[in-house]
Structure 1
Amino acid sequence: MHLKPLAAGLLSAAALVSLTGCVPNAPADPASSLAVSSTDSDCTVSGASAASGPITFDVTNEGERVTEFYLLADDGLRIVGEVENIAPGTSRQLSVVAQPGSYFTVCKPGMIGEGIGQTAFEVTGEAVEVAADDQAAYDEAVTSYTAYLRNQVSELVPLVEDFTTAYKSGDDAKARELFAAARVPYERIEPTAEAFGDLDPKIDYREVDAVAEGLDWTGFHRIEKDLWQPQPGDKNSDDTDAFLDWAPSTPEERTAYADQLVGDIQELADLVNGEEFEISIEDITNGAIGLLDEVATGKISGEEDWWSGTDLSDFKANVEGAEVAFGIVEDVARAKGDDGAAIADSISTEFTALNDLLGSYGSYEEGFTTYRDLTPDQVKELSTQVDALAEPLSQLTTTVLGLQA
């Protein structure tokens, strides 16, 4: 978990309604490409407007902290598109197909807080129409992925209920046994949960994230620290003294943390199953990319499940979620010609290689190697394979939307 909402609590199910459209298979107009410079103190976009249709923001991180870039709706809250985990000195692209209207751009160095440099951005011209054959394929993909999301939350609810029941009753051995499994459906659909404002912070923030944003620390990882309690000399993920000011939760506090997590998970399920819940084709493709970003920034470093060491289970779930999203749009990508087929082949090959490598460290049924038992060479091998998949996967959105030149 790394995406930090720009305005916690103000994003509803309706915010998932797509503010962008899709266009027929045609190369992007070079004039729709804008350069973005993100520093630790500013967010500069090379233009304040663009014509409706395909727009690509080439984001370069010229600061010293990992950054994110967002295109927001006219209320300054709803996320139209985002690209995250842009390391210092590197560049990433955000591609959208925008309808006429008013938007905002903003960067978030350090990936915390409300962001900096929020600037008005106008999209001019006529509404973008969608080719009938493309629309039919997009509609089918959206229907399929929506069903997948709803199935995952239906699995998540009872798993979290069983986990929290053990935790608040004091059966720590049972709760530790259930912890990783309870997180799997959540990790498979994490970008969807992150779209609902303050739900992801309440459910899945690590301690360092909550402290950085001045939030009450609750959710999975608050319970995790109770179940794998720090000992004198232990360090938090930010290298601070984990034992300082630490006290195990009282039975009353355990009940409160458990009940809140159950309630927050149920709220997520209700939102995903609600009549107003909608996603776009870009939500699917960008979600796949976002899930691999989760692996690259949290799981691969062992910072996600700092106390339990169950990061590889989350790692596997993120990869599974990304692979499902890719599988749902794979035929659409292949229909975009030889380039689309080549990108789909490359993505498929790299998914197989990554799954094979992960399989050498265990499974959900047998358990995975504890993260702290991995050697530096093993971590590097996993990281290299994630990078090998990230390169073609980063082209999935533009390929599916027919924006490849």
Structure 2
Amino acid sequence: MRALRSSVVAAVAVATALTAVAGCAEKSGSSGADAILVKATDDACEVSKTSFPAGHVTINVENKGSKVTEVYVYAPGDRIVTERENIGPGTKAEITATIKKAGSYEIACKPGMKGDGIRQKITVTGADKAEKSSPELDMAVAEYRRYVQAQADETVPAAQKFADAVKKGDLDEAKKLYAPSRIGWERTEPVAESFGDIDPKVDVREDGLEKDQQWTGWHKLEKSLWDEKKITEDDKKLADQLMKDLADWQKRVGTAEITPTSMANGAKELLDEVATGKVTGEEERYSHTDLVDFQANVEGAEKSYALLKPVAAKNDAALAKELDKQFAELKKLLGDYREGDGFKAYDTVGKDDRKKLSDAVNALAEPLSKLAGAVAK
């Protein structure tokens, strides 16, 4: 989904221990006395409760600092299990989560949206509590699991063609195959990132590298192809490494923990990824193929919504109607930037047009943040 970056460390995962949904700051059934309050400042992350039972939990965040912040929940091993980004100074946000397993976790505030964050340890107690389900939701999860596996299965051969072109030293062919090789990954980034160790290998950007981390993956090759305009012997080795890492993802994707709320959360995070990386032009800064990624992110989000819609519409018809409208309007707007079988280079998209795209993304992201709540009713 998103490569780690110095300006925005954006990651979300569907973890085995926790399923969570980030939403707007609004009331929920578990708000009030039972909620965990997080007060984030530029140099502190105060958590009102450090121990609570497994089950549904609400985390109410208030940013009292001067910087935009993010709040993460980590499982052991620094696996990111949920996060809420872009919480501006003086604003609030609510995260509704279902914690299934007892154990040790951490809540982290990230002022400036970078670094390891200011962390507080929390303990989840009690026996495992399964998330409420239904035949319709079970069917949605099963179908989505097939979808993410199919996307991985389609990505590997597409990426192999790209890697083969790199290994042949064919600069023009590699450029042509670069963006198509990423579509399946972009559609299912939240699930792809659930394993923690794969995304930093295949999708990290140079400014998101951790200390002493070797730069590998798509974006390293992107820089060679468009910025350096040459393919080195090291690049050919990196092409093989990319395929090794993607094969690992393909093999493991079937083991990902997927639930109705994680699907809804993932849809919202895909829109956040568009807002923080694609609309800004940061993601594909050398190739300018951002609109291909943009389209794939929207397609992945819409797939999750479509599978959850029967239940969401039953529980909140107005929300479903609004989501239908906003998805349609965003897709129509994207169509204006098509060129042949693909999209215009993003560096040819002017400021006013980027603003239109950003506004359309935000118009969809707001109701999409409420999808999990509708599904969980």
Place the TM-score, normalised by the shorter chain, in its bin: 0.7 to 0.9
Q: Which residue in 2 is equivalent to 1:120? A: 122
SS state at 1:145 partner: helix
Measured in 2, the distance between the counterparts of 1:265 and 1:127 equals 32
Q: Which moved more, 1:46-55 or 1:142-151?
A: 46-55
Are the counterparts in 2 of residues 106 and 116 from structure 1 also a CA contact under 8 Å? yes
Shift of 1:348: 1.3
Q: With the length of structure 2 as denominator, give the TM-score of the two structures.
A: 0.88
Shift of 1:43: 1.5
Shift of 1:177: 0.9
SS state at 1:335 partner: helix
Measured in 2, the distance between the counterparts of 1:30 and 1:394 equals 20
Are the counterparts in 1 of residues 224 and 231 from structure 2 also a CA contact under 8 Å? yes
Q: Which residue in 1 is equivalent to 2:337? A: 361
Measured in 2, the distance between the counterparts of 1:224 and 1:20 equals 34
Measured in 2, the distance between the counterparts of 1:255 and 1:87 equals 42
Cα 1:382/1:143, change in 2 over 3 Å: same
Letter in 2 for 1:222: K
Offset from partner CA, 1:133-154 (integer Å, 9 cap, x none): x332332121111000000001
Shift of 1:51: 4.9
Measured in 2, the distance between the counterparts of 1:149 and 1:135 equals 21
Measured in 1, the distance between the counterparts of 2:20 and 2:360 equals 33
SS state at 1:216 partner: coil
Measured in 1, the distance between the counterparts of 2:63 and 2:2 equals 17
Shift of 1:62: 3.5
Cα 1:48/1:118, change in 2 over 3 Å: closer
Kindly indicate whether residue 82 of structure 2 is the aligned counterpart of residue 81 of structure 1.
yes
Q: Which residue in 1 is equivalent to 2:248? A: 267
SS state at 1:324 partner: helix
Shift of 1:397: 1.3
Following superposition of structure 1 onto structure 2, how do residues 216-295 of structure 1 map, counting pairs within 5 Å?
A: 216-229=214-227, 250=232, 252-273=233-254, 276-295=255-274
Kindly indicate whether residue 78 of structure 2 is the aligned counterpart of residue 91 of structure 1.
no
Measured in 1, the distance between the counterparts of 2:114 and 2:212 equals 11
Measured in 2, the distance between the counterparts of 1:40 and 1:230 equals 38
Q: Which residue in 2 is equivalent to 1:58? A: 60
Cα 1:181/1:3, change in 2 over 3 Å: closer
Measured in 1, the distance between the counterparts of 2:335 and 2:20 equals 39
Measured in 2, the distance between the counterparts of 1:130 and 1:185 equals 28
Kindly indicate whether residue 361 of structure 2 is the aligned counterpart of residue 391 of structure 1.
no
Q: Which moved more, 1:393-402 or 1:299-308?
A: 393-402
Cα 1:31/1:305, change in 2 over 3 Å: same
Runs (4+) off by over 6 Å: none
Q: Which residue in 2 is equivalent to 1:327? A: 306
Cα 1:137/1:397, change in 2 over 3 Å: same
Measured in 2, the distance between the counterparts of 1:283 and 1:355 equals 23
Offset from partner CA, 1:14-70 (integer Å, 9 cap, x none): x84354599xxx943533323322233222223334454432212233445443222
Shift of 1:193: 1.5
Measured in 2, the distance between the counterparts of 1:86 and 1:37 equals 12
Are the counterparts in 1 of residues 74 and 81 from structure 2 also a CA contact under 8 Å? yes
SS state at 1:201 partner: helix
Structure 2, unaligned stretches of length 5 or more?
A: 6-12, 22-27
- Residues paired across the two proteins, number: 363
Shift of 1:128: 4.2
Measured in 1, the distance between the counterparts of 2:182 and 2:269 equals 17
Q: Which residue in 1 is equivalent to 2:44? A: 42
Are the counterparts in 2 of residues 38 and 61 from structure 1 also a CA contact under 8 Å? yes
Measured in 1, the distance between the counterparts of 2:238 and 2:360 equals 37
Are the counterparts in 2 of residues 76 and 104 from structure 1 also a CA contact under 8 Å? no
Shift of 1:104: 2.7
SS state at 2:73 partner: strand
Letter in 2 for 1:260: Q
SS state at 2:134 partner: helix
Are the counterparts in 2 of residues 166 and 175 from structure 1 also a CA contact under 8 Å? yes
SS state at 1:31 partner: helix
Q: Which moved more, 1:156-165 or 1:327-336?
A: 327-336
SS state at 1:55 partner: strand
Letter in 2 for 1:228: W
Shift of 1:195: 1.5
Cα 1:179/1:3, change in 2 over 3 Å: closer
Measured in 2, the distance between the counterparts of 1:216 and 1:65 equals 30
Letter in 1 for 2:250: A
Are the counterparts in 2 of residues 168 and 258 from structure 1 also a CA contact under 8 Å? yes
Offset from partner CA, 1:334-380 (integer Å, 9 cap, x none): 222xxx111111111101000000010006x6221111111111111
Are the counterparts in 2 of residues 164 and 262 from structure 1 also a CA contact under 8 Å? yes
Cα 1:4/1:372, change in 2 over 3 Å: closer
SS state at 1:215 partner: coil
Cα 1:213/1:85, change in 2 over 3 Å: farther
SS state at 1:229 partner: helix
Cα 1:300/1:62, change in 2 over 3 Å: farther
